[in-house]
Each structure stands twice: as C-alpha cells, then as structure tokens.
Copies of this chain bind each other. A is one copy, B any other.
C-alpha cells in the first residue's frame, strides 16, 4: 500500500538513513561494504526514492515546464522532442502544456508552474506579459526572437533571414506582385515577419508585397484565397507566414482550379513534414526545429544548474531554403 521509504531501506540494510541517502545521491564518503549492502537491498525491495520529498527538501524537482501554443500544430512536436531529449539526458522531466494561443491561459500556466515549483520553464510566448513571466521566479528560456522578452534567454530562428531567402527566391523567379500572409494581425510574430519583409525590400520599396492577415492555420490560408483573388493586379506568388497557411492556400487554390506553380507560386516557412507530402510539395524555408528545442533545453538547464552567469543571450538558428514543386518562374503558365 504505502510505498517503501528510506527508513525501510536503512533498517533492512542495518544502517542509518543518512547513509542510505548518501548512496542514493552517489556521494563518495561511504564504505564500500555499506554501499554494497544498501544497493543490494534497494534492488531487492524495489525501492524508488520519493522525488516529491526530496524536491521539497532540495528545492529542485528535476522537472521543467514547456509551454507552447498548440501541440497539434506540427511545428511543435519537433521542438518538444528536442527539449525532451536533452532534458532526459540531463536528468529532467518535462511538463507540457498548451496555451491555445490564449493570454489568460498562458498566465494561468505560468502561475501553475510557479505553484509546482518547476525548476525552470521554456515558453513560446504569444501574449503573456513580462510581469507574469518574471513572477515565475525561476529560469526562463523563450522560444522566438521577440525583442520584448530580451531579458530572458531565448532561442529562435532568424526571421529576417527566412523572409529574405523566400523573397529572394521569388524575385529570382521573376515575381513582382507578391502577396504576404505574415500571420494574424496584432501578434508579435506577425510583426516580426512584416519587419523582415520591409528590411528585405529596402532596395526596392516600390515593390513591397501586399499584406493580408490570417491565422497560423490551414483554414487561415484557405480563407486567404479570397483576398488573393480580389487583388489587382493579381499576385503571381504568395509568401506564407508558415507552412500550415501555405497548405491551406494550396487547398483553396486547387478547389478553384488555379494551378500551382503554374499560375501562382506558393512558399511557406517552417518546413514541417506536411510540406514534403502535400501536393504540390511545398517550397519553404527550413527551420531547425529539433535543434531549437535542444538548444533551449540546454540553455535552461545550464541556468538552473548555475553553469551560466552571463547576461541573457539570444540564439538565432539559421535557416535555409528548400525548393520543391510549389514555386516556378513567373509566366510559365503550365495550368
């Protein structure tokens, strides 16, 4: 019924509980003889130390939180996998939570993490306030490159580079009239993409892409087709804020009989698995999602364990273009 505790082991092994505790923690000031006896009784009895108790005492529960918007968005499982791999290797468990893109839920989750006394937290913030994040009181690593959070460690991909790569590709193909779907209006990651567009277009400000806002989802891209078709002159290419938007757009275009890349080229960002399977396969900018997760976890645990005292740093992972079937030179109206 009640699980074994350290006293049971101590008694069974004929030693004091402190000695048991010592071998449990791998300390060296314990005689080989005692150690052997203790280890064998632990194994025989199948004792599993209570991490809750030790967590209370040590103020460390070997668990970190990971707060993401939505695990069913294919971008995040890869991040998660990277985080878990490193966490696991370094002896931490991962508590996963979805904020559902909601500010209230983000703040609730951080408060929960605080009550749970998690050792640290990795968060892909959507709206959460700095105050709420600070209140957590432990180490935090942010996923993303938003300036607002620069007081925390962060890891993100190079948005400027991504957008630059995508636009350069379209330009090289001769596209002048481009529609950009940077994301939902009023979200920081949307603004980041917009800023990147402006930067990339500094040389030819007259050719700035049209901007249309939509959710980071398939249906967001699907619905954007209407906006696309209402523009004159009609854009010959679409730069999508992420692959899901792009895939929704592909579906919408196909339904209307518009060929890709014949009549319109589509490029995404993220390079999720879907991108290599959809039809046509999607030209997109690859983000090293798994590495981002691993890096975030390493940064966080380094902080937790005090290996780093330096000021917060931001790691921008570089991206690269993956050319597939959804883009072609303008005017090649194979459709």
Contact = CB atoms under 8 A, between A and B. Distances in A.
B72 A81 contact: yes
A93 B116 contact: yes
A32 interface: no
Nearest to A80: B71
Contact of A81 (B50, B71, B93): B71
Contacts of A164: none
A84 B97 contact: yes
Interface string A276-306: 0111100000000000000000000000000
Interface stretch (A33-41, A107-115, A232-240): A107-115
A53 interface: yes
Contacts of A96: 80, 84, 94-96
Interface of A: 3, 46, 48-53, 55-56, 61, 63, 70-72, 74, 76-78, 80-81, 84, 88, 93-98, 111-112, 114-117, 135, 137, 218, 247, 251, 273-274, 277-280
30 contacts: A3-B114, A3-B117, A3-B137, A48-B111, A48-B114, A49-B115, A50-B56, A51-B117, A52-B55, A52-B56, A52-B61, A56-B56, A71-B71, A71-B80, A71-B84, A72-B81, A74-B77, A76-B77, A80-B96, A84-B96, A88-B97, A94-B97, A95-B96, A218-B277, A273-B274, A274-B274, A274-B277, A277-B277, A278-B279, A279-B279
A71 B180 CA distance: 31
Nearest to A87: B97
A55 B48 CA distance: 17
Given A3-B137, A95-B94, A96-B94, A117 B72 contact: no
Contacts of A53: 56
